[in-house]
Structure 1
Amino acid sequence: MRWTVKPKSEQAQVDALAKALNVEDLVAELLLQRGIRTFEEAKQFFRPQLSQLHDPFLMKDMGAAVLRIEQAMGCGENILVYGDYDVDGTTAVALVSSYLESYYPNVATYIPDRYKEGYGVSFQGIDFAEDNEFSLIIALDCGIKAIDKVAYAKEKGIDFIICDHHRPGNEIPAAVAVLDPKREDCSYPYDELCGCGVGFKLIQALGSRNGETIEDLIPYLDLVATAIGADIVPITGENRVLAFWGLKVINSRPRAGFQAIINQLKKQTLTITDVVFVIAPRINAAGRMEHGQHAVNLLKVTDLPQAEKFAAEIENYNTDRRSLDQEIAQEALLQIQENEEQDGCTSVVYKATWHKGVIGIVASRLIETYYRPTLVFTKSGEKLAASARSVKGFDVYKALEGCAETIEQFGGHKYAAGLTLLEENYEAFKAKFEEVVSQTIDPKLLTPEILIDAQISLEEVTPKLLRIIKQFEPFGPGNPSPVFMAENLKDNGYAKGVGQDESHLKMAVTQNGTPPIGCIGFNLGNKLEIVTNEEPFSAVFALDENEWQGNVSLQLKIKDIRP
């Protein structure tokens, strides 16, 4: 691990903000690192208000989208709400379709089959729309590159409204409206919305024409918060407001589908981390193992007993998914070792029989062992399909652009992408990808980095500090949970390995005679010797709460340890 301490802010700025907010210098420093410089900015950060959301009509083509939907409703047209099979796509489809259905009956949903149709808008989906007399398709979390598909639909008399958040190509599809804040010709003030977020802006615009206020749309924000967490978009600006209020809905009056999942857990209050690691994988499992429509059904059902039945089915998919991705990850690791390619800058692996639904998860698992841009390929019909994952600071999407001559099609983000290619091009792609990455990556990015907000003493670690930090939530990209470093620590003599194979580290630390503070270090059992040899050590940690038999105490969540 590389430890990087963030540069300190100017003392005058720290003093001014600490005085304005009546907080300690440390809290002022943490806020300055998050771009908060004034009392007013701090107030918006700690108390996100729905009034901070932007006017949806600032998004290019929003007016055209609203008019086309109103025209469809006025003329009795059939509307097909179409979305990708991941969490962002299925939540977006559930959100827009259920909103439209509250006004208008002729609405149906369509999620493409991951295996038969692949990612995004498909010709098969358009044929389905034609066969069932749909004249308007609203595409969510996909479509920004579907130029040929939109043209094909137009020939059949079917209009498209595209709501996407992926980077456009050189050409924009000839749809009735293309809502995408990443369009270069779109001046919307915030361009980091997820697909479900763009869908929410659409219903916000429709609602404003029906005399609804933003308060009327609060029940839909549980879906938006889930998509924001799952799609790993920055939790800044408008996303912070949407996630903050969405979590309130999840914790106070969740829809039946979420309630059914929550009922299986033992937690009272869910954080964005719980949404990412508990709710999102279950929603995703439907599209990975069976079909994304199962997730939409769960998210739209209003009857709790029925929701619990759907949730139990999805729990089974998730269990199957978990064992499958672990099995494939082991095979992929073995392949890297046998091919003796550990010394390169990339990991690219392929097996025809690997399950397409879990290759993205497997790519993320491989990065835990070999920290470098990674692609996992499998056979998909006549072609090969891959999921790409990257390391912090490296744009894998740009790297794929550099390999375009060997790829059939690709799309995605800086850190995650998908692609297809012809089997005969696999070796050429693999060599080209290694060449592009090795020429463009900063070698230090191949070592994982821990960004440290501040070096502190254990005396500063107090329940009050933890209470303030909890108000920084929801955490995520752009607003990570604060990370600290402390030096000259000593174990109080009771450090031990815990858990299966004693792979985790449990201890209590003191510093210059301070009272011991409990610590847990997940997957740090191999650091036990550093802690127990009676020499002082340094640690990087976040503040955490430990709940045990009804008692709650402050603890340090250790991220790394050094002599």
Structure 2
Amino acid sequence: MASLARVAEGRALTVPQLRRRTALGKPSGWPDSVHAVLQQVYAARGVLTPDQVEHRLARMLSPQTLGGMAQAIEILIEAIRDDWTIVIAGDYDCDGATGTAVAVRGLRLLGAKRVSYAVPHRFIHGYGLSAALVESMQPTPQLIVTVDNGVASVAGVAAARARGIKVIVTDHHLPGEQLPAADAMVNPNLVYVEKCGHGSPPCDVCAHDARLNKTFPSKALAGVGVMFYLLLALRARMYPSVGADHQNGQRPDLSVLLDLVALGTVADLVPLDFNNRVLIEAGLKRIRSGRGCAGITALIESGKRSIATLCASDLGYVVGPRLNAAGRLEDMRLGIECLLTDDVGQAYRYAEQLSAINMERRDLQASMVAEAELMAAGAAHTDAVGVTLFEPSWHAGVVGLVASKLKDRLHRPVIAFAPASEDNTDELRGSARSISGFHIRDALAAIDARHPGLIERFGGHAMAAGLSLKTSDYPRFAEAFDAIARELIDADQLQAVLHTDGELPVGAASLNLARQLRQAGPWGQAFPEPLFDNAFECQSWKLMGERHLRLQLRDPRDGAMHDAVMFNAYHGTPPPTRLRAVYELTINDWQGREAPRLLLRHIEAI
């Protein structure tokens, strides 16, 4: 098995293997206005005809196909009719914050008058609907609706129901062995079992066990998407015809929530299947037209991005981190309030606070990542396949970002740990990030089965997960994690691979193509932004700040010169004179003048 890449000066010394995508079929039916390069980019992602990128809302999956809706809707109808007190139990990341805002805004639009929210504090309540969070809800609500959490909240749901509170769980995380005893549960990753209506199994009429498995066609909905779907289904039940009377003679317009849905979906890094792309594109169109909520508008402008040309990556790299920072270092209620306010001035004040917290997060992250890189280069870690890192001074709200950075550097699954809080150093909180082919949540489940009691709590997805354990058990866990990684990961999986869309043809790096690529998304997880690789000669370069490069690259095929930038790339060594670059074709719109520019993602000497 390949040895672990040593880390020096913030870089992994191993070079990723470049692998070019191939078309998954022949493009057809595209108008001449669609650039041939874009057609090939689409074909490499399985999109062969124009109808496959018609991201119209009419083509989104029906809310009625999502299991658990009937029970949840009945409870919500009763709650609205009888004016129950409803608490939305959110989460402290961007998906949870946007989902909470969607739930509060949406239920109010549908007639609920007493809707509030509660979001756990990372260091006080822990994750999800915990018993501690339920206890903090004063006065006691009549209904709790979770968003982006709850499928693993067995104890929290039990605590709520013991107090006479009804609970609806809306979540998208993978279920564990035991489900909470909620009154209703909506989750695209659950298999819903329904009786056929002919009686108890075995059924003489159907000649099978009288059960039908109902699964949602897409498993990729984010938590905010699940909540939006529940609201759509609830509205359809309350106002079965478009012309039903309600406020000015029309049913509530839930499309006003799509900017929040787009933000949460992009920020949570869920796969951008067709359905998610429909939701994101609708939200982006709303924002670009100036109809985004005050909070999102303020966050975009705080991040110095253009409302008119906003794209999905702007949501992921600029807006999402500002919201996430509140949940990591402070209290996510600040982020949720930013998304709920309709006061423009207040929204900008919230956005500035969130930006300041995000700057603090970036500084803390940089320090922790530097320490983690030194640890990973040490003898204790150089042969590890499943890498675990722990430093008592680390902040539990930032370890997920550390794990992500180190996973990218080392191309190994990484779990970074920190004390649960300053007052609770006997417990560790860990955040895990994985590589393709190694299902991190299933790996934690396997460790839990082999070493009962070692992990106190865990949950998550294939590529990311969270867990907690006793500080004294960390060495034993580190050994168990490395062992399961060695068992399940093949040697070829340890080679980092960088997929590209091949060489851009001579003369193709134009402003026209750059505009088409930008508008052609939304690009994101499992529908990646186009990357090209070409050979260049570096004619000149200079530093921007301390670590960023600006380069002039010459295409040896025709002598064309290209402006290029590469961020966080300078470590004391100049770029090679002859190089192969992997890059995005982007637009430099400095001072309002647009020009094509290459955003370099990787370079290697040739």
Structure-1-length-normalised TM-score: 0.91
Structure 1 position 461 matched with structure 2 position 461? no
Matched ranges for 1:135-534 at <5 A: 135-185=142-192, 186-211=214-239, 216-251=253-288, 252-268=290-306, 269-338=309-378, 340-380=380-420, 381=424, 382-404=426-448, 405=451, 406-487=454-535, 489-491=536-538, 493=539, 495-501=540-546, 503-525=548-570, 531-532=576-577
Give the letter for the 2:537 counterpart. K
Cα distance, 1:462–1:431 mapped onto 2, change above 3 Å: same
Bigger RCO of structures 1 and 2 (CA < 8 A, at least 6 apart): 2
In the aligned structure 1, how far is the partner of 2:352 from the partner of 2:514? Answer: 36
Matched ranges for 1:32-43 at <5 A: 32-38=43-49, 42-43=50-51
Match of 1:7 in 2: 22
Moved more, 523-532 or 283-292: 523-532
Matched position secondary structure for 1:450: strand
Give the letter for the 1:229 counterpart. V
Shift of 1:467: 3.3
Matched position secondary structure for 2:432: strand
- Consecutive unaligned residues in structure 2, runs of 5 or more: 1-15, 193-213, 243-250
Structure 1 position 543 matched with structure 2 position 585? yes
Cα distance, 1:490–1:384 mapped onto 2, change above 3 Å: closer
Shift of 1:25: 4.9
Shift of 1:549: 3.5
In the aligned structure 1, how far is the partner of 2:104 from the partner of 2:553? Answer: 52
Cα distance, 1:459–1:21 mapped onto 2, change above 3 Å: closer
In the aligned structure 2, how far is the partner of 1:326 from the partner of 1:227? Answer: 25
Return the match for 1:118 from 126, 133, 152: 126
In the aligned structure 1, how far is the partner of 2:378 from the partner of 2:95? Answer: 37
In the aligned structure 2, how far is the partner of 1:531 from the partner of 1:350? Answer: 36
In the aligned structure 2, how far is the partner of 1:478 from the partner of 1:333? Answer: 28
Matched position secondary structure for 1:260: helix
Matched position secondary structure for 1:403: helix
Matched position secondary structure for 1:275: helix
In the aligned structure 2, how far is the partner of 1:443 from the partner of 1:178? Answer: 40
Cα distance, 1:316–1:517 mapped onto 2, change above 3 Å: closer
In the aligned structure 2, how far is the partner of 1:291 from the partner of 1:530? Answer: 43
In the aligned structure 1, how far is the partner of 2:537 from the partner of 2:52? Answer: 40
In the aligned structure 2, how far is the partner of 1:26 from the partner of 1:527? Answer: 36
In the aligned structure 2, how far is the partner of 1:468 from the partner of 1:159? Answer: 49
Question: Identity percentage over the alignment?
Answer: 30
**Structure holding more helix per residue:** 1
Name the count of aligned residue pairs. Answer: 548
Mapped contact 1:505–1:523 kept (Cα < 8 A): no
Give the letter for the 1:104 counterpart. A
In the aligned structure 1, how far is the partner of 2:574 from the partner of 2:345? Answer: 52
In the aligned structure 2, how far is the partner of 1:446 from the partner of 1:505? Answer: 32
Mapped contact 1:458–1:486 kept (Cα < 8 A): no
Matched position secondary structure for 1:458: coil
In the aligned structure 1, how far is the partner of 2:404 from the partner of 2:468? Answer: 19
In the aligned structure 1, how far is the partner of 2:487 from the partner of 2:80? Answer: 54
Cα distance, 1:466–1:313 mapped onto 2, change above 3 Å: closer
- Consecutive unaligned residues in structure 1, runs of 5 or more: none
Cα distance, 1:173–1:21 mapped onto 2, change above 3 Å: farther
Match of 2:211 in 1: none
Matched position secondary structure for 2:397: helix
Mapped contact 1:232–1:476 kept (Cα < 8 A): yes
In the aligned structure 2, how far is the partner of 1:465 from the partner of 1:191? Answer: 33
Give the letter for the 2:164 counterpart. G
Structure-2-length-normalised TM-score: 0.85
Give the letter for the 2:588 counterpart. N
Matched ranges for 1:46-85 at <5 A: 47-85=54-92
Return the match for 2:116 from 108, 112, 126: 108
Matched position secondary structure for 1:518: strand
Cα distance, 1:120–1:189 mapped onto 2, change above 3 Å: same
